[in-house]
Amino acid sequence: MKSPFQFGRVVVGDTFTDRSFEIKRLKANIENNVHTMLISPRRWGKSSLVKQTALHLEKNKKIKFCFIDLFKTRNEEDFYSSYTRAIIKAISSKTEEIAALAKSFLGRLTPRISLGTDPLNDFEITFDMKGMKQNYEDVLNLPEKIAEKKNINIIICIDEFQNLGHFDEPVLFQKRLRAVWQHHQRVAYILYGSKRHMLMHLFENKSMPFYKFGDVIYLDKIPTEDLKTFIVSSFSRTGKVIAEEYAGQIAAYVKCHPYYTQQLAHLTWLGAENCVSAEILNQAVEELLNQNSLLYQKEIETLSNIQVNFLKAIAGGVNQLSSTVVIKEYNLNSSANVTRVRKALEKKEIIDVVGKKIEFIDPVFELWFKRYYSGVDSK
Ligand SMILES: Nc1ncnc2c1ncn2[C@@H]1O[C@H](COP(=O)(O)OP(=O)(O)OP(=O)(O)O)[C@@H](O)[C@H]1O
Ligand SMILES: [Mg+2]
């Protein structure tokens, strides 16, 4: 029997839980043509949420989803080319139709289509790259034109959107996108990515073109009760048993972090032949720490001594980091230094400041740090 838990990939269907509030909000945005920007720390489920919402709307033939991942996109030309291909592929799989669409809306870019072994699903479309940059408005208007012609709405979901920040003239490029996209009536954009600070810079900075482009959703963690139900039912679906109490402990260990919940639940599932015991769960936690240990060790190596001292203070539950006693006890130098270190660790996405509280972003890193680094065992 295969494990019912998945981590490290986009999850949908049985492996996806809850998010009913976010799905509802995203659906409302889609139906009302409002653009959405999705922000969360790493691995909280942005990509999965968008895919799951698309599945919910699958039956509506008037809405077409188009997925673009900018993971490898490094410049403007790459962008135009992935954008065009993704849109055309999402709209049609019929070669003649694709050729006709490309010709009527992108004629100036001399599109060429070459077929693969399966002509219905496998084709490549290439353009004159120089023309692509000169006629970027044609390219950026492509989805709107197609949507008008086919009387549909197109939802363009762009993952790793922050990569635009690495282009040669990032702000100019973003201005171009916004200038064209804001006139679209039948196209809504969902923009998200894995680098929260970069995305926040693009979306929240008043001087940036994508400031107030649409509805910004800050994804929350999944509530404990939903995770508990999810874990219990996934065990039972695969013929194994976990008591609610242990399911709750799994969620608590990883502070309801969606990725780690699935990883720890998976390790517990693997360890349990039948029924989960306290010992099996403890072993799974050890395994979780072991599996991530190398990664965390590397992370620590990038930190200065004073940054590590700062983390020790946080791990020790200290909140008044600028107090003289704390500065002395944890070797933090001075209160100006404390502020600098805090900012650096925030930028590295190791800690988060929530209200007045400073927290580790990665709950398993926190567990590991407490156990192996600062000697403070959290159990
Ligand atoms: N709704 C959910 N229900 C259950 N597990 C989830 C859910 N959303 C995410 N996960 C878990 O978290 C993992 C990461 O999800 P996903 O890749 O969607 O996150 P992300 O925010 O896009 O990550 P990144 O920041 O790396 O882009 C998934 O592989 C899965 O294990
Ligand atoms: Mg993602």
**Whether the predicted pLDDT of 378 surpasses 60:** no
Residue type, 315: A
Residue nearest to atom 28 of ligand 1 (CA): 7
- Mean pLDDT in residue range 243-259: 97
Mutate to test the pocket of ligand 1, among 6, 9, 10, 11 (most ligand atoms within 8 A of CB): 11
**Whether the predicted pLDDT of 227 surpasses 50:** yes
Return the minimum-mean-pLDDT range out of 130-134, 137-141, 177-181, 315-319.
130-134
Q: Which CATH number fits domain 19-218: 3.30.800.10, 3.30.70.120, 3.40.50.300, 3.40.140.10?
A: 3.40.50.300
* Band (206; pLDDT cuts 50, 70, 90): very high
Residue 43 near ligand 1, beta carbon < 6 Å: yes
What pLDDT is recorded for position 121? 62
Please choose, from the candidates 174, 164, 158, 169, the residue with its C-alpha nearest in 3D space to the C-alpha of residue 208: 174
- Mean pLDDT in residue range 232-251: 98
Ligand 1 atom at minimal distance to the Cα of residue 19: 1
Each residue's pLDDT tens digit, 268-303 = 999 999 999 999 999 999 999 999 999 999 999 999
Structure tokens belonging to residue 318: 């200290």
Residues of the chain with CATH 1.10.8.60: 224-298
Each residue's pLDDT tens digit, 183-203 = 999 999 999 998 888 899 999
CATH 1.10.8.60 for domain 224-298, yes or no, is yes
Strands 112-115 and 123-126, sheet pairing = antiparallel
What pLDDT is recorded for position 196? 87
- Please give the Cα distance from 131 to 375 (Å, whole number): 61
Residues of the chain with CATH 1.10.10: 303-373
What pLDDT is recorded for position 119? 59
Mutate to test the pocket of ligand 1, among 199, 259, 288, 364 (most ligand atoms within 8 A of CB): 259
- Please give the Cα distance from 234 to 229 (Å, whole number): 8
Please choose, from the candidates 272, 219, 218, the residue with its C-alpha nearest in 3D space to the C-alpha of residue 250: 272
What pLDDT is recorded for position 353? 84
Q: Classify 231 in phi/psi space as left (phi over 0), alpha (psi -120 to 50) or beta.
A: alpha
Q: Which residue has the higher pLDDT, 162 or 110?
A: 162
* Band (375; pLDDT cuts 50, 70, 90): low
Mutate to test the pocket of ligand 1, among 14, 48, 194, 254 (most ligand atoms within 8 A of CB): 48
3-state SS, one letter per residue, for the chain: CCCCCCCCCCCCHHHCCCCHHHHHHHHHHHHCCCCEEEECCCCCCHHHHHHHHHHHCCCCCCEEEEEEECCCCCCHHHHHHHHHHHHHHHHCCCHHHHHHHHHHHHHHHCCEEEECCCCCCCEEEECCHHHHHHCHHHHHHHHHHHHHHHCCEEEEEEECHHHHHHCCCHHHHHHHHHHHHCCCCCEEEEEECCCHHHHHHHHHCCCCCCCCCCEEEECCCCCHHHHHHHHHHHHHHCCCECCHHHHHHHHHHCCCCHHHHHHHHHHHHHHCCCECCHHHHHHHHHHHHHHHHHHHHHHHHCCCHHHHHHHHHHHCCCCCCCCHHHHHHCCCCCHHHHHHHHHHHHHCCCEEEECCEEEECCHHHHHHHHHHHCCCCCC
Each residue's pLDDT tens digit, 38-93 = 999 889 999 999 999 999 999 999 999 999 999 999 998 889 888 988 998 888 87
Please choose, from the candidates 109, 169, 163, the residue with its C-alpha nearest in 3D space to the C-alpha of residue 140: 109
354-363: buried (b, 16+ CB within 10 Å) or exposed (e) per residue?
Answer: eeeebebbbb
**Whether the predicted pLDDT of 156 surpasses 50:** yes
368 CB burial (10 A radius; 0-12, 13-18, 19+): buried
Residues of the chain with CATH 3.40.50.300: 19-218
Residue 44 near ligand 1, beta carbon < 6 Å: yes
**Whether the predicted pLDDT of 379 surpasses 60:** no
**Whether the predicted pLDDT of 9 surpasses 60:** yes
Cα 241 to ligand 1 centroid, rounded to whole Å = 24
What pLDDT is recorded for position 122? 66
CATH of domain 303-373: 1.10.10
- Please give the Cα distance from 121 to 102 (Å, whole number): 16
Residue 6 near ligand 1, beta carbon < 6 Å: yes
**Whether the predicted pLDDT of 120 surpasses 70:** no
* Cα angle: 317, vertex 323, 325; to 5 degrees: 85
Each residue's pLDDT tens digit, 311-335 = 999 999 988 888 899 999 999 988 9
- Mean pLDDT in residue range 153-164: 96
Residue nearest to atom 4 of ligand 1 (CA): 16
Return the minimum-mean-pLDDT range out of 126-140, 246-260, 280-294.
126-140
Cα 44 to ligand 1 centroid, rounded to whole Å = 5
- Mean pLDDT in residue range 335-346: 93
What pLDDT is recorded for position 241? 98
Residue 48 near ligand 1, beta carbon < 6 Å: yes
Q: What rounded mean pLDDT belongs to the chain?
A: 91
Cα 291 to ligand 2 centroid, rounded to whole Å = 21
**Whether the predicted pLDDT of 131 surpasses 70:** yes
Nearest ligand atom owner, CA of 44: 1
What pLDDT is recorded for position 127? 76
Residue 338 near ligand 1, beta carbon < 6 Å: no
pTM score, whole prediction: 0.91
**Whether the predicted pLDDT of 33 surpasses 90:** yes
**Whether the predicted pLDDT of 171 surpasses 70:** yes
